[in-house]
A and B are shown apart, each in its own frame.
With several copies, the nearest count.
Chain A
Amino acid sequence: MKYLTKLEGEEREFTIERHGDRLVARSGDRTFALDMALVGDGDTFSLLVDGRSYDVVADVQREEVVLQMLGERYAVHVEDERERAAHAVAGHKAGGRRELRAAMPGIVVDVKVAEGSQVEEGQTLVVLEAMKMQNPLVAESAGRVSRVLCKKGEAVAGGALLLEME
């Protein structure tokens, strides 16, 4: 099976095949001998790559694979061949619309913009209070606020859509 992996702007393609107890992974002209065993408690792998040992906790939710290994945490996007083909057909539907979502549950203590506001990159749009900290949520790039979906004093869930920009 062929996989396209993406991590923080980088991409790598791997072809993985089973050879008996072992797996063989290829990327470009390099080959890795893998011995990968699921540990008893379900979300952990013991991974040997050419004899080097890694203890990997993996949360695999379809294309989103969140790993913990060597003290690091990685959110890797992994598409297999079929998914890649499907995504190519679906095309890029997202367009120019951008969303501001609450990164965590909290209380909206201030909304600094209104529908139609022109904002600059870095400008504070909404102030969200969570865990007793005031967190200013800022515009990632310049644009126009097309919809405001929250109001001052409102409690919002994590991931809630707060406003949309164009």
Chain B
Amino acid sequence: MPAIRRILVANRGEIALRVIRTAQEMGIETVAVYSDADRTALHVRRATHAVHLGGSKPSESYLDIGKVVAAAKKSGCDALHPGYGFLSENEDAAQACIDAGVEFLGPPPPAILAMGDKVEARKIAMKAGVPLVPGLQEEVDEARLAAAAKQVGYPVMLKAAAGGGGKGIRIVREEKQLLEAFHMARAEAKGAFGDDRVYLEKFVTRPRHVEIQVMADKHGNVVHYGERECSVQRRHQKLVEESPCIALSPEVRAQMGKAACDLARAVGYVGAGTVEFLYSEGRFYFLEMNTRLQVEHPVTEMRYGVDLVREQIRVGAGEKLAPVAEPRGHSIEVRVNAEDPNTYFPSLGRITRLNMPGGPGVRLDSALFRGMEVTPFYDSMLAKLVVHGADREQAIARCQRALRELRIVGVSTSLPVALRTLQSDEFRSGDYDTGILDRIDKRPPASRRELAMLAAAAARFLVTERVGAGAGGTRAQGDAAPRWAMLGRVERLRRSTP
């Protein structure tokens, strides 16, 4: 197997930067690809080369297999890293790479195909002896829907067969909601994956979402790096992840790790993958396998002292897996999304201020920069804050500390919700499940509100005073906007239009 000297990074945002960072540390060149909206994105500026793909819509750029693979060929890349999302779980993309003689840094197309079809994946898991949630192992259509749901028993879940990342998932608690939810799930599935097949399964009560990080090389070795607990979710999107999961006994942990490796072997897996399980009351059930690097992989990296992207590249170059070190301490990741903390609606705008957290045990993965525009074209995740501590208590305290240090101004973010989660008794006790976010009061503590009102009044006082003084005691127009706000506007006008 030849060494890898130049990698096309077929992604954007923090994950593109993540790959570029490791490649740079390995002395490997990187080729960034970009859409119109991303001309000045950080992944373009940090790569050694950059190739323009096309329009801002993903279909015109990051999702266009032909353009991406042609860029890899033309720029002399010997490998392609798909990141997550976009083409990362697309077997056609993997095959196109192989056909072009470019190493795809992910599993072989048949493994992607098998695990990407959730119905097929369940069949393979069953065969490999991996436990499953009760439900239908096949696609449902509108005609059989109500009968099937009744048979499995409410509440039920509708899930996109081609899904992943929580898109196209609906929970249905009673029959009268069933049809609308089915149509919405199909529409979302169609929009997100171009495939509107949906399947149905029992909704497990008080479930925890626990997943195993696996890695396989081309020599038949399969290892795992323990579990991640990902139960803090809203709209089936993870918000806070941690490792280890304190609910698991050593026996269950070992069984889960073995099951994940068995499944990887059953599909001839190569590279990094994640096997997701539901865990409830001492038992675990296979959910799906994500045939790519997961958003929350740094949680594992910090505990095991491993660079999973480096391992992916090493595996792609035909090297054998490095031995897995003993895990140390506890780590927690918080996803920082541009969204309204109450409605979870995306929040768009320009980042006017960015204060990064620092100090011991804190890692920030993001492609944010001051002046960046958050556009509606792509995912709303802005950053991942990951901390590591000697134990869970220290990790929680450290994460709260870092969350207060991290400041993003210009859009609303999920930071306050994450902070409230970490402060909640439920999270701190460790006895929580995927419903935790619905139970947490997302409002700032009452004790703090009066302080905020005082600070707001004082801020207005000071601004008014300064404008008065700065303008020599006069004001241009009666109730003029403070000079201060004006400066903010001038800064906004600086925006690039080259």
* Chain A residues in the interface with B (C-beta under 8 A): 1, 3, 5-8, 10, 12, 14, 16, 18, 23, 25, 27, 32, 34, 36-49, 51-62, 65, 67-74, 76, 78, 80, 82-83, 103-106, 109, 127, 129-136, 158
Contacts and interface: CB of A to CB of B under 8 A. Distances in A.
B56 to A, nearest CB: 12
Given A59-B409, A72-B419, A104-B346, A46 B44 contact: yes
B114 interface: no
Nearest to A76: B456
B462 A25 contact: no
Nearest to A129: B191
A23 B461 contact: yes
Given A36-B498, A42-B487, A131-B378, A71 B400 contact: yes
B460 A80 contact: yes
B378 A39 contact: no
Chain B interface size range: 35 or more
A19 to B, nearest CB: 13
Interface string B83-127: 000000000000000000000000000000000000000000000
A132 B481 contact: no
Contacts of B400: 71
A73 B412 CA distance: 8
B494 interface: yes
Contact of A5 (B346, B403, B453, B487): B453
Contacts of A37: 39-40, 496, 498
A125 B341 CA distance: 22
Nearest to A40: B371
A16 B192 contact: no
Interface in B378-424: 378-380, 400, 403-404, 407, 409, 412-413, 415-416, 419
A73 B451 contact: no
Nearest to A79: B460
Contact of B459 (A40, A58, A109): A58
Contacts of B458: 14, 16, 23, 25, 34, 36, 45, 47
B165 to A, nearest CB: 9
Contacts of B454: 5, 12, 14, 25, 27, 32, 34, 49
A54 B347 contact: no
B32 to A, nearest CB: 7
Interface stretch (B131-139, B296-304, B463-471): B463-471
A49 B419 CA distance: 23
B219 interface: no
Nearest to A158: B348
Contacts of B356: none
Contact of B452 (A1, A44, A72, A103): A72
A25 B460 CA distance: 13
A69 B452 contact: yes
Interface stretch (B47-55, B268-276, B358-366): B47-55
B40 A40 contact: yes
Contacts of A129: 191
Closest 3 CB pairs of A and B: A41-B371, A40-B371, A76-B456
Contacts of B462: 23, 36, 38, 45
Interface centre among B167, B452, B456, B459 (most CB of A within 10 A): B456
Contacts of B380: 131
Given A16-B461, A76-B456, A132-B379, A53 B340 contact: no
29 contacts: A7-B456, A10-B453, A12-B450, A14-B458, A16-B458, A37-B496, A38-B462, A39-B371, A40-B495, A40-B496, A42-B494, A43-B352, A43-B488, A49-B451, A51-B49, A54-B45, A60-B485, A65-B460, A68-B407, A72-B452, A73-B413, A78-B457, A104-B346, A105-B348, A129-B191, A131-B346, A132-B191, A133-B167, A158-B348
Contacts, number: 221
Interface in B23-52: 32, 39-40, 44-51
B173 interface: no
Interface centre among A49, A54, A131 (most CB of B within 10 A): A131
Interface stretch (B281-289, B321-329, B441-449): B441-449
Given A23-B458, A47-B455, 20 more contacts: A3-B457, A18-B465, A23-B461, A32-B454, A34-B454, A37-B496, A38-B498, A39-B496, A40-B369, A42-B487, A43-B409, A43-B488, A44-B353, A46-B44, A47-B458, A49-B451, A49-B454, A71-B415, A74-B449, A134-B187
A69 to B, nearest CB: 6
B455 A67 contact: yes
Contacts of B345: 103-104, 130, 135
B75 interface: yes
Contacts of B40: 37-40, 46
Contacts of B461: 1, 3, 16, 23
B376 interface: yes
A143 to B, nearest CB: 20
